[in-house]
Amino acid sequence: MAQFLIRDVPERIATALKVRAKKNGRSTEAELRAILAETVKPKASEFCKEADRLRKELSDRGLKFDSAAVIREERDKR
């Protein structure tokens, strides 16, 4: 795993992080990890935009099929 060292953090920010960590029942280090993870997580709107782009890109490839029909066919084989 990577490690980061952040220098010259203002005391008011360090104190706020410690308070936030305590409120969330985490260490300051764990709180910072949670903040970083949340910050880089794609937003729902970005995800939907990318899904639409991929759907359009793949739509002309003829990969359309009815998944319900496939499931029904497999079920009928039993």
Report pLDDT digits (tens) over 2-61.
999 999 999 999 999 999 999 999 999 999 999 999 999 888 888 899 889 988 888 777
Distance CA 18, CA 32 (A): 10
User: Considering the entire predicted model, what is its pTM?
Assistant: 0.57
Q: Pick the closest to residue 14 from 27, 34, 28 (CA basis).
A: 28
Domains in the chain: boundaries = 11-76
